[in-house]
Every structure is written in structure tokens, then in C-alpha cells.
Copies of this chain bind each other. A is one copy, B any other.
Amino acid sequence: MRLPVELPKAYRLLNHGPTVLVTSAHAGRRNVMAAAWSMPLDFDPPKVIVIIDKSTWTRELVEASGHFALNVPCRALADATLAVGSASGRELMQGAGDDKFARYGLQTFSAGRIDAPLLEGCVGWLECRVIPEPHNEHSYDLFIGEVVAAQADERVFSQGRWHYDDTTDPSLRTLHYVAGGAFFAIGEAFEAKRL
């Protein structure tokens, strides 16, 4: 079940460095792309950074709508993550006329606070409102978002913490992209000793 994550804890969905899926929508069109380059920027109010290349259709939709969502996929979605990170939604629309959700069988549900679809089967979701920073967007493809709502799959994240252990279904572990289709799943949890 999906449960809300209190906003000051939302950064913890990204703190360990997972690859995310960026969803966006505008005027009846929608898209999803993979992004290895995203991270928290602040705690409260929570902010995030994500790099969105000028060539992408996501860029067009985010600039038009002022919103995006970061969806945290798990191993069950690794093939889809690679696929939506490789194909262009714009080309799909111009060709077959379907979008990446239809092409790869990705189910969505509605965000609570923004106009962007959220992806079923992910384990975390951050709904973000763009904080306009034209110089960063233009020079670095760098987008800053304020997180206005967050949710997580309570099987693996609750009370502000990820709960991955030996009993966790391995397909629910977060993805950490390397390159060329190679990923790591997040591994063993442990506590550091205080020196």
C-alpha cells in the first residue's frame, strides 16, 4: 500500500542515490524518462535537483507545466527503466502515435498535488513544483523542484526509513544505474559505529 511520506522526511527517498523515473504532462500529453542524475537539495521545505537534457520531450512538458514527479523504481521495473531511458517519447508519438506508457505497458495513477502521472510499481514518489532558475536550466539542464507531496510503498519504506533486509522481496530493491544497461540493486543495510 502507498502511504504519504511527511515532507521533512521526503529527502530520504533519494538520499541513498537511486535512479529515478521523471514523469510529466501538459495539455493532454505525457512522458516518462529515466534520470540517474537527481538528488535532494534541501530538507524542509524539501527541494530536489534533476538534470533534464534540452533534447528531451520531458524538458518541453516540464517547462510548459512547471511540474514534474520523481518516481523511484525498483528491480521489477529495471527493464522498463532502461527502455524509457533509451527511447524518445517525442519520436514514439510521431511514429506509432502511442506514448512510452502505452508502449511499455506502464500503469499510472494520479498525483495529488501536481498535474503529472505517477507510475504504478515504483516504491517512492515525489511530486515537485519547478522553482524557476533560468540560468541553471539553460546552462546546466539543471532543474530545482520543491517537493509538495511524497508517498512510498509501505512494504519497503515507512516512518521515514527504507526497510530492506534479508526478508525483503528482492524485486522491491531500488535501482542504481551504472551505464549500458548495467545496474546495481541496493544492498545490505547496516549501522556505522560511532567513533
Contacts and interface: CB of A to CB of B under 8 A. Distances in A.
Contact of A189 (B81, B144, B184, B195): B184
Contact of A41 (B12, B18, B37): B37
- How many copies of the polypeptide does the oligomer hold? 2
Interface stretch (A91-99, A112-120, A174-182): A174-182
Interface residues of A, number: 55
Contacts of A12: 178-179
Contacts of A16: 17, 36, 176-178, 184
A82 interface: yes
Interface stretch (A23-31, A60-68, A147-155, A156-164): A156-164
A161 B177 CA distance: 11
Contacts of A136: 136
Contact of A80 (B51, B86, B195): B195
